[in-house]
């Protein structure tokens, strides 16, 4: 495809168009991903999550400056849940990061989650692949932490950063939700506000208590307003990356990700296939009637239907 050729040549307009096609789940998006996939796997993926307003976008804005000093090419995806409660934050993200608009090596894109409850959609994963194939060294995904998204981001990123603040009771939330297994690095942003030290102590205790992993997540205090702690955070990201690369963890992590992706796609394909094959058919209606009349139980009905339909040919 021409669009893929242009994208691989470094044409930013082609990248933007391809992203829109993938984001809209355009008919051609499958073909695009297929063609660019061999060129992926070079970018390092950083996931940044945390409660709304904790300062994720502001932090990314600062981090980008630090990364650009090392001449790294950066792609940023700000994932916003399509929730009425956070409706305005896409605009906020853009404003927070627009300082980099004139930098050709920084590409920023907002995406919605399409009701997948703050999770990472296939479209988002596709856009990560596009940015990767385009030649970005670093891809940053920002997601609002609303439960499922934290778990999801950790599955999709190489390094996951959880951004908390001293005041909002964030650490209590974290304790409740039991998400301390997820971050590779914990950031306490807004360290200019009172309570940062206490939060740090609390979080460290939780991490020591909860964590039996080989990597002990460091806790970094930042103040994005005055650019405090950004360099330290970047050093910790690089440390984590070296850790992943040392024992081939990164390769294992990515292999696991591919395995999950394939399983998920298979589930989706089969589900659609079942749906398309049986919905509205007389056979299905009859089976439901039989269940209503207690002539058959639902599991036996499911097995009987599956035995009678052809599930091959998964286009
Ligand atoms: N006091 C203080 N406010 C901050 C800091 N970082 C961000 N903010 C403010 O917090 C608000 C939310 O920031 P934003 O980056 O949009 O948070 P996000 O929703 O997590 O992306 C903005 O009004 C920022 O100016 C900080 O270090 N200290
Ligand atoms: Mg934001």
Evaluate: CB of 136 within 6 angstroms of ligand 1. Answer: no
CA end-to-end distance (rounded Å), the chain? 20
Residue 221 in contact with ligand 1 by CB distance below 6 A: no
Which residue has better confidence, 236 or 89?
236
Dist. CA 162–CA 187, nearest whole Å:
6
- Asked if the model's pLDDT at residue 247 lies above 60, the reply is yes
| Max CA distance (Å), the chain | 72
Distance 162 CA to ligand 1 centre (A): 14
Higher pLDDT, 236 or 179: 236
Section 121-145 average pLDDT? 92
What pLDDT shows up at residue 15? 96
pLDDT of residue 146: 60
192 ligand 1 Cβ < 6 A: yes
DSSP string of 80-117? Answer: E---TTSTTHHHHHHHHHGGGTT-TTEEEEEEE-TTST
Lowest pLDDT segment from 42-51, 102-111, 163-172, 241-250: 163-172
Contact indicator for 79, 145 with CB cutoff of 8 Å: no
- The confidence score (pLDDT) of residue 46 equals 97
Nearest-5° Cα angle at 176, 175 to 178: 65
Residues of the chain with CATH 3.40.50.300: 40-246
For residue 186, the model assigns a pLDDT of 94
**Mean pLDDT, residues 23-52 taken together:** 93
CA dist., res. 267 & res. 78, Å (int): 27
% the chain with pLDDT above 70: 84
Binding site membership of 95 for ligand 1 (Cβ less than 6 Å):
no
Q: Where are the beta strands (DSSP E) in 153-231?
A: 159-164, 185-188, 219-221
Radius of gyration of the chain (CA): 22
* 13-17, 85-89, 101-105: segment of lowest average pLDDT: 85-89
Q: Is the beta carbon of 240 within 6 A of some atom in ligand 1?
A: no
Environment class of 171 (CB within 10 Å of its CB; exposed 0-12, middle 13-18, buried 19+): buried
Nearest residue (CA) to ligand 1, atom 5: 190
Q: Which whole number is the average pLDDT over 167-174? A: 64
Q: What pLDDT band is residue 115 in, cutting at 50, 70 and 90?
A: low
Indicate whether residue 55 lines ligand 1 (CB < 6 A): yes
Nearest CA to ligand 1 atom 8: 55
Tell me which of 3.40.50.12500, 3.40.50.1400, 2.30.42.10, 3.40.50.300 is the CATH number of domain 40-246: 3.40.50.300
pLDDT digits (tens, 9 = 90+) for 248-278: 889 999 999 899 889 988 888 888 889 889 9
Nearest ligand 1 atom to the CA of 59 is: 15
Strand ranges for the chain from DSSP E: 44-50, 74-80, 106-112, 138-144, 159-164, 185-188, 219-221
């Amino acid at each position: 495809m021409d669009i893929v050729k242009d994208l691989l040549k470094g044409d930013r307009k082609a990248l933007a168009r391809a992203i829109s096609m993938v984001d809209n789940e355009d008919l051609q998006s499958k073909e695009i991903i297929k063609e660019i996939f061999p060129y992926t796997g070079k970018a390092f993926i950083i996931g940044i999550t945390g409660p709304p307003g904790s300062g994720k976008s502001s932090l990314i804005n600062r981090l980008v400056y630090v990364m650009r000093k090392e001449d790294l090419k950066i792609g940023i995806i700000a994932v916003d849940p399509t929730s009425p409660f956070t409706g305005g934050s896409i605009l906020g993200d853009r404003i927070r990061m627009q300082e980099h608009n004139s930098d050709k090596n920084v590409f920023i894109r907002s995406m919605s989650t399409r009701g997948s409850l703050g999770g990472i959609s296939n479209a988002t994963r596709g856009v990560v692949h596009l940015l990767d194939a385009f030649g970005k060294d670093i891809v940053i995904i920002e997601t609002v932490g609303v439960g499922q998204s934290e778990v999801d981001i950790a599955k999709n990123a190489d390094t996951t950063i959880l951004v908390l603040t001293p005041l909002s009771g964030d650490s209590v939330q974290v304790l409740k939700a039991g998400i301390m297994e997820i971050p590779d690095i914990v950031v306490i942003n807004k360290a200019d506000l009172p309570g940062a030290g206490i939060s740090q102590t609390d979080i460290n205790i939780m991490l020591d208590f909860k964590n039996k992993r080989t990597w002990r997540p460091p806790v970094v205090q930042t103040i994005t307003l005055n650019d405090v702690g950004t360099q330290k955070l970047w050093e910790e990201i690089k440390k984590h990356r070296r850790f992943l690369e040392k024992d081939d963890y990164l390769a294992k992590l990515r292999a696991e990700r591919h395995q999950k992706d394939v399983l998920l796609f298979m589930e989706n394909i089969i589900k659609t296939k079942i749906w398309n094959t049986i919905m509205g058919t007389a056979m299905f209606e009859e089976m439901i009637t039989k269940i209503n009349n207690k002539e058959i139980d639902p599991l036996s009905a499911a097995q009987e239907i599956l035995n009678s339909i052809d599930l091959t040919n998964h286009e």
